[in-house]
Amino acid sequence: MTPAPATAPSHHQVLIVGGGTAGITVAARLRRAGVRDIALLEPSETHWYQPLWTLVGGGQAPLRASLRTEADVMPPGVRWLRERATAVDPTARTVTTASGRVLSYGRLVLAPGLELDWDGVPGLAPALGHGGVSSNYRPDLAPLTWELIRRMRRGTAVFTMPSGPVKCGGAPQKIAYLAADHWRKRGVLKSIRTILVLPEPAMFKVPVFDRALRETARRYGIEVRLSSEMTAVDGPAREAVLTDHTTGTAETVRYDLLHAVPPQRAPRWLADGPLADPQSPYGYVAADRETLQHPDFPHVFVLGDVANLSTSKTGAAIRKQAPVVVSNLLAGLRGRPAAARYDGYTSCPLVTARHKMLLAEFDYDLRPTPSLPFIDTTRERTDMWFLKRYGLPQLYFRAMLKGLA
């Protein structure tokens, strides 16, 4: 795959912003449907399967297993523009890039993902990678997480999750369980104080999985701080400020290990632009919850992490969103109304031990929507862990990114 030459046409029938899970999946499906003029804006030359990073941080997978080149996953026939979008004008139907190039389009698919706001917690950015601080939300730090867990014998470990929508909302909890399970097997768990800081009043919004995770935390002796958040970090002192949003009280905790998840938001060029949802303080893009079209500009389709939808931001959600976007986009090209509907389906594989996992599947109404018949995925299962470690990555690279699943 080679970059588009400077003389490439500036207009495309379909322009996709973002070459991650959502953008590549939609591009592959459109190509299979016969759409010829597709351009995709993506500056990165690497493509990551991010769900595997939790297992990297837990010592259960090598980082290289989650990596491909962007060229490897780019669908044949799609024009890859190795540039970053910086502005969108949905009235003029144009997108401007970092080089100042202006691209026009017939249909726009927005799938640029979100941004990690490491500066959103005072002191967190300079503390990362030093003094026991790590995060599985950065691929270069996920291996460090495992080193910190592996070396720890006593002290205090703090695992945090920020308020607001984040990608893979179960990840901040999963690494705490993997760490505790490792410490249990090494016989040092009772010498380690483990604190899990969660911003919501429950561990999980779906009651059946909330009960299961409460039991998991109890089994490991984890202190769960609900309706709480880490609001500051002092890296040199190895101290984190944990604030209870119910009472407003703040406690300073000295840590030996800190796994931090940063606040997350839409890319600034979208958050400050005309497509942002005014109801989202994080700048996520407005989208009809069923058709995935922008409510004011139906030629704009939104999916993946950047969409302001009341469901978890996961790859499983994208797998269900992509066919809806493609079907409705094709309907528009053919002069037909958008008929496909997304029901909010998402899936959170909840790893609770080295070879144990729950599979939380639910829709907009938080109703469990299991996709595996005759299997109780609300209970910890070894086969579910093997599905996450080996089955889902294969499904991702060999089927989903090729428009086949």
Active site residues: 168, 348
Look at the alpha carbons of 84, 51, 286, 340 in this order and tell me if their dihedral is positive or negative. Answer: positive
Say if CB 101 and CB 82 are below 8 A apart.
no
283-304 as b/e: b if 16+ CB within 10 A? bbbbbbbbbbbbeebeebbbbb
For residue 375, with 0-12 CB atoms within 10 Å meaning exposed, 13-18 middle and 19 or more buried, which class applies? middle
Cα 363 to chain centroid, rounded: 17
Q: Where are the beta strands (DSSP E) in 130-185?
A: 133-134, 155-160
**How far apart are the C-alpha atoms of 68 and 345, rounded to whole Å?**
27
365 burial via Cβ count (<10 Å: 0-12, 13-18, 19+): exposed
Q: In 252-337, which ranges are continuous DSSP H helix? A: 268-271, 315-333
CA separation for the pair 147, 152 (Å, rounded): 9
Would you tell me how many other CB atoms lie within 10 Å of the CB of residue 214? 15
CB atoms within 10 A of CB 337: 9
Which helix or strand (DSSP H or E) is residue 172 part of? helix 171-186
Residue with tokens 């429950």: 202
